[in-house]
Chain A
Amino acid sequence: MTAMDLTRARRIDEVTWELGTEYAPGMIVPVRFLADELLVGQIGTDRSLEQLINVAMLPGITRFAIGMPDLHEGYGFPVGGVAATLTPDGVISPGGIGFDINCGVRLLATNLELARITPWLETFVHELSRAIPTGYGRHGRLVLERHQLERVLLEGAGYVVRELGLGVPADLTRCEGSGQLPDAEPAGVSARARERGEDQLGTLGGGNHFIEVQRVVQLYDEPAARAFGLFKGQLTVLIHTGSRGLGHQVCLDHLGVMDRVSGSYGFTPPDRQLACVPFGSPEGRSYFGAMCAAANFAFANRQLLTHRVRQVLGRILGPHFPHPVASTVYDVAHNTAKLESHGGRLVCVHRKGATRALGPSGFELPDVYRGVGQPVFIPGSMGTASYVLVGTDESAELSFSSCCHGAGRALSRTAAKHQVQGHVLRKELEARGIVVRCPSNLELAEEAPAAYKDIDRVVEVVARAGIARKVARLEPVGVLKG
């Protein structure tokens, strides 16, 4: 691993750093990253900045490649990397979105206080684990007919709500893009991708995917919290999953094509995972359409999981409380490429492990959030707090209206397992009253708090950078790990 020479980084303000185009041959735009001194040190320990420098070499990239405060090493783009390319001649790169297309989060706010449901908390989390399959689990899946899958790819969460009746209209208005990317072209989704996805709707998956049951412990911005339907002591549920195998296969299929044809467009990427083609090329349009279709599958997946959570909520808490409700606060994507207008130009914004963060005047906001801003969720690691933030108008200029998507890993899984014993962590979490459902202690150790950056610090940098403001702090009381 090459050590980065960060002494050449220019400090733009207290949390914004820049590496100029002179830093490495081939850079078209500067690299920016948001960090305080300690996070700079952490970022410098892996290859994330090298990867961001590679991104700065992509043809058609505009203004800068920017790393969010949770920046860490990925493949192709770093996780927490954002880049905008001019359309139609700038490139689109599947490596800038990742395999888990539209991995994202949805926050559900209940009308219940945690303090009142504590006697049933363990049963609630346990029943969630029974209702929602992880890994290869077969229960709870929605197996789709071919024509149904086609509609999901086109209509996203809307198909699940309108046609299957598994949700309410407000679920859709409170989703990024109403739970549907309009440029979906299912024709670009291969038979293999469909085969992988046909029985995966309503599944959580593995890795860092999770469902977390939480309590709102602190409000920082009461008007925004009120607009989002949040109050202190409230029981909330955060769902983190994506497009499952269907999305992975879409990325794989189109990455293979781009790997073959990148050179014919006159560009040899510095990292093969950054294979790319002009956005307006046949291969670029085909990938974009398929990627949007996979993103719609992910929106539908989170909608179906929302339905499962509501079923369990009603079954376990319904007998004790009249009309328990879990309302969607918002659903936001982490891994996408979207056509957006920035600086008067239509650009393709790649967000890899980063989330959109529109300010109060963002025209894509649902009416209910106009004048407030888009809810932004920053989940912490297992056992640490998560944050609800609200996007700012300034983020358009600062970060292409983007914010970070989590705490960001600081340790590899191997290192985490060396430092943390899963069974000890399990006991620690349980001693703190957190109900954990994860079959393997080793997997638990991989996602231990010590493996992640300090979420409070990451959120503080976000706020100081001005790309989002703090609204509420949520602490976990139950975790179902994928």
Chain B
Amino acid sequence: HWRPRGTGVALVSHQMQPRHEFRAHTAEIELFLAAPDLRSLFVEAGRALAELMAGEPLVPSGEAVEVAVRAEDREALLVGWLNELIFRSERDKRIYLAFELEQLTPRSLIARIRGAEPRTLKTAVKAATFHLLKIVEAGSGFTATVVLDV
């Protein structure tokens, strides 16, 4: 089975499928991510954030907007990407849930994102943190851990 996940990358059956889990953390939320490549890892991070924030199924609407993020390293870039989405969600009162990564380097990304206005906000996410932050290159892809302050 394979299915495109919005990254433009076709995934074959032996590859790691993009996925995420919200793991137990006493006060906050520990987000675990796995994906066959860094692009889909970053996209999956955005999807996980949207799932956490939205209390209802949402359909993206409106024009895509361009987002550029720079950071010191790829781990900080993942945190910066999530914090950019959190900032825009709070400012625009929208949840961003469709992502196209146009450029991704270890220290920068450019993406086009689309969102929807939710009726309610399920979980208010304050920030993505550096705590326990890691991106690990596994045999068939990448995994990452990020703790979100909620």
- Interface of A with B (CB < 8 Å)? 46, 48, 72-76, 79, 95, 98-100, 135-136, 138, 192, 195-196, 205-207, 245, 248-249, 251-252, 255-256, 259-260, 271-273, 275, 409-415, 439-440, 442-443, 482
- Within the complex, the shortest CB–CB distance from B7 to chain A, in Å, comes to 27
Counting CB contacts under 8 A, is B13 at the interface? no
- Within the complex, the shortest CB–CB distance from A409 to chain B, in Å, comes to 5
With A192-B87, A271-B131 in contact, do A410 and B76 touch (Cβ < 8 Å)?
no
Cβ contact of B147, chosen from A75, A100, A255, cutoff 8 A: A75
- Within the complex, the shortest CB–CB distance from B63 to chain A, in Å, comes to 20
Cβ contact of B26, chosen from A100, A255, A411, cutoff 8 A: A411
- The contact sample of 14 A-B pairs, CB cut-off 8 A, is A75-B129, A76-B130, A95-B131, A135-B120, A136-B120, A205-B124, A252-B127, A255-B130, A271-B132, A272-B130, A272-B131, A411-B26, A414-B22, A440-B122
Q: How far is the CA of A271 from the CA of B130 in the complex (A)?
A: 8
Are B129 and A76 in touch, CB under 8 angstroms?
yes
- Within the complex, the shortest CB–CB distance from A78 to chain B, in Å, comes to 9
Q: Which residues of B contact A275 (CB under 8 A)?
A: 130
Q: Which residues of B contact A75 (CB under 8 A)?
A: 28, 129-132, 147, 149
Are B87 and A196 in touch, CB under 8 angstroms?
yes
Q: Which residues of B contact A95 (CB under 8 A)?
A: 131
Q: Which residues of A contact B14 (CB under 8 A)?
A: none
Are A273 and B87 in touch, CB under 8 angstroms?
no
Cβ contact of B126, chosen from A79, A100, A255, A439, cutoff 8 A: A100
Counting CB contacts under 8 A, is B27 at the interface? yes
Are A251 and B22 in touch, CB under 8 angstroms?
no
Counting CB contacts under 8 A, is B108 at the interface? no
Q: Which residues of B contact A440 (CB under 8 A)?
A: 55, 120, 122
B 115-150 binary contact with A (CB < 8 Å = 1; else 0):
000101111101101111100000000000001011
A439 closest partner in B (C-beta): B120
Q: How far is the CA of A353 from the CA of B16 in the complex (A)?
A: 39
B128 closest partner in A (C-beta): A252
Cβ contact of B124, chosen from A206, A249, A439, cutoff 8 A: A206
Q: How far is the CA of A185 from the CA of B34 in the complex (A)?
A: 42
Are B127 and A73 in touch, CB under 8 angstroms?
no
Closest CB pairs A-B (n = 10):
A206-B124, A75-B131, A135-B121, A272-B130, A412-B24, A273-B131, A73-B26, A273-B130, A75-B129, A99-B126
- Within the complex, the shortest CB–CB distance from B125 to chain A, in Å, comes to 9
Q: Which residues of B contact A195 (CB under 8 A)?
A: 91
- Within the complex, the shortest CB–CB distance from A363 to chain B, in Å, comes to 34
Are B149 and A414 in touch, CB under 8 angstroms?
no
With A76-B131, A99-B149, A195-B91 in contact, do A410 and B26 touch (Cβ < 8 Å)?
yes
Are A248 and B26 in touch, CB under 8 angstroms?
no
- Within the complex, the shortest CB–CB distance from A35 to chain B, in Å, comes to 15
17 further interface pairs, Cβ-Cβ under 8 Å (given A411-B26, A440-B120): A74-B28, A75-B130, A75-B147, A76-B129, A206-B121, A245-B90, A252-B127, A255-B130, A259-B72, A259-B76, A271-B130, A271-B132, A273-B130, A412-B26, A414-B22, A415-B24, A482-B124
Count residues of chain B with CB under 8 A from any CB of chain A. Answer: 33
- Interface of B with A (CB < 8 Å)? 22-29, 55, 72, 76, 80, 83, 87, 90-91, 93, 118, 120-124, 126-127, 129-133, 147, 149-150
With A98-B149, A410-B26, A411-B26 in contact, do A249 and B129 touch (Cβ < 8 Å)?
no
Q: How far is the CA of A260 from the CA of B122 in the complex (A)?
A: 33
Chain A interface main SS type? mixed
- Within the complex, the shortest CB–CB distance from A149 to chain B, in Å, comes to 15
Q: How far is the CA of A79 from the CA of B26 in the complex (A)?
A: 10
Q: How far is the CA of A206 from the CA of B120 in the complex (A)?
A: 11
Q: How far is the CA of A414 from the CA of B72 in the complex (A)?
A: 32
Cβ contact of A443, chosen from B22, B72, B118, B122, cutoff 8 A: B122
Are B27 and A74 in touch, CB under 8 angstroms?
yes
Q: Which residues of B contact A99 (CB under 8 A)?
A: 126-127, 129, 149
With A73-B27, A196-B91, A412-B26 in contact, do A135 and B130 touch (Cβ < 8 Å)?
no
Q: Which residues of B contact A415 (CB under 8 A)?
A: 24
Q: Which residues of A contact B130 (CB under 8 A)?
A: 75-76, 255, 259, 271-273, 275
B26 closest partner in A (C-beta): A73
Q: How far is the CA of A442 from the CA of B120 in the complex (A)?
A: 13
- Within the complex, the shortest CB–CB distance from A129 to chain B, in Å, comes to 13
Are A409 and B87 in touch, CB under 8 angstroms?
no
Q: How far is the CA of A150 from the CA of B132 in the complex (A)?
A: 35
With A196-B90, A207-B126, A252-B83 in contact, do A79 and B121 touch (Cβ < 8 Å)?
no
- Within the complex, the shortest CB–CB distance from B132 to chain A, in Å, comes to 8
A1 closest partner in B (C-beta): B24
Cβ contact of A442, chosen from B26, B28, B87, B122, cutoff 8 A: B122
Q: How far is the CA of A205 from the CA of B23 in the complex (A)?
A: 23
Q: Which residues of B contact A259 (CB under 8 A)?
A: 72, 76, 130
- Within the complex, the shortest CB–CB distance from A132 to chain B, in Å, comes to 15
Are B129 and A273 in touch, CB under 8 angstroms?
yes
Q: How far is the CA of A439 from the CA of B124 in the complex (A)?
A: 13
With A271-B131, A439-B120, A440-B55 in contact, do A48 and B147 touch (Cβ < 8 Å)?
no
Are B83 and A414 in touch, CB under 8 angstroms?
no
